[in-house]
Amino acid sequence: MDYKFTKEDLQEIENLKSRYPEIKPVTLPALWIAQRRFGHVEPEVQKLVADTLGLPEAHVHGVASFYTQYYKEKKGKYVLDVCTCLSCQLCGGYDILHYLEEKLGIKKGETTKDGVFTLNEVECLGACGYAPMLQITNDTYVNHLTKEKVDTLIESLKEDKVPEYEKIEMPLRKNN
């Protein structure tokens, strides 16, 4: 495939470049722009980013390979990252992961044949008080998961209806 940024993507990258005194920090947001455009940052996409920024491919590859949020291979339209860290594990994270494996007919790390879902097991999504939880394609968190909530979520995503962000209310600390 011949990967190319759109005019809008290039303008967004130029705007980012103007905000930083050096070019290397633009690597991360440029990779996000690429992943949003192509759904992944395979080596060919990393090369495009490097060429666009005028940076060595090795630098862009190093950044892309360090962060798990950048997909180095094609994934499904919706990537479901199920947290199985301690809090989520104790609250049923593995039960949810196994339920999704059964429901989608795939194992963790796999993508459904129709290319709609990729299922991943991940470590801590940083919202332990809302366990068990998952994240949809590095964006929307779905908290306090139950089998019923998973069923509703999957049906919604099949209709391309991504749930709204779930608000996490943090109590205000009062000074005594």
Q: Is the whole-model pTM more than 0.85?
A: no
Asked if residues 98 and 106 have their Cβ atoms less than 8 Å apart, the reply is no
d(CA 36, CA 2): 16
Residue 54's alpha-carbon distances to 17, 46, 113, 161, 169, in angstroms, are 11, 12, 37, 38, 43
**Cross-strand pairs, 135:** 81, 141
**What is the separation of C-alpha 167 from the centre of its chain, rounded to a whole number of angstroms?**
18
* Residue 175 pLDDT greater than 50, yes or no: no
* Residue 173 pLDDT greater than 80, yes or no: no
**Hunting for tokens 């940052």 — which residue is that?**
41
User: What is the per-residue pLDDT across 73-86, written as a single tens digit (0 to 9) for each?
Assistant: 999 999 999 999 99
What is the identity of the amino acid at 171? Answer: P
User: What is the per-residue pLDDT across 138-150, written as a single tens digit (0 to 9) for each?
Assistant: 888 999 999 999 9
User: Domain map of the chain by residue range?
Assistant: 7-66, 78-158
Identify the CATH class of 7-66.
Answer: mainly alpha
Indicate the average pLDDT of the chain.
91
* Residue 126 pLDDT greater than 80, yes or no: yes
Domain 78-158 is found in CATH 3.40.30.10 = yes
DSSP secondary structure code for residue 108 in this structure = T
